[in-house]
Chain A
Amino acid sequence: MDIFSGFNSSVLFLIKIAVWAFLTIYLIFAGVVVRQVKLMTETLEVGFEKGIRFIALFHLIVAFSVFALALIIL
Chain B
Amino acid sequence: MPDIFNSNRPSINPSLKESKSETSPSTEARGTLNRRLRQKVSSLGSFIPEYKNSGNSETSLKAQDGLLLKFPKEQERHKLHGHNHSPLASYSFYPDHVNFINQDPEEKVILFLRKHPITNWRWMLISFLMIIAPSLLPFFSFFMSLPESFQLILIIVWYLLTTAFVLEEFLSWFFNVNIITDERIIEVDFHNLIYREMTDANIDQIQDVTVEIGGSLRTFLHFGNVVIQTAAEVPKITFEAVPQPDRVARVLRELRIEEEREKLEGRVR
Binding site for B on A (CB under 8 A): 2, 4-5, 7, 12, 15-16, 19, 22-23, 26, 29, 32-33, 36-37, 39-40, 42-48, 51-52, 55-56, 59, 62-63, 66, 69-70, 73-74
Contact = CB atoms under 8 A, between A and B. Distances in A.
Contacts of A47: 87, 96-98
Contact of A66 (B96, B101, B149, B157): B157
B97 A45 contact: yes
B64 interface: no
B98 A46 contact: yes
Interface residues of B, number: 37
Contacts of B149: 73-74
Contacts, number: 93
Contact of B152 (A7, A45, A73): A73
A19 B157 contact: yes
B158 to A, nearest CB: 11
Interface in B56-115: 87-88, 95-101, 112
Contact of A63 (B160, B194, B196, B198): B160
B181 to A, nearest CB: 13
Contact of A69 (B153, B188, B190, B194): B153
A43 B197 CA distance: 11
Contacts of B196: 39-40, 43
Given A46-B98, A47-B96, 8 more contacts: A12-B147, A43-B101, A45-B97, A46-B95, A52-B174, A73-B153, A74-B150, A74-B153
A33 B167 CA distance: 9
Contact of A32 (B96, B100, B142, B194): B194
B150 A40 contact: no
A10 to B, nearest CB: 14
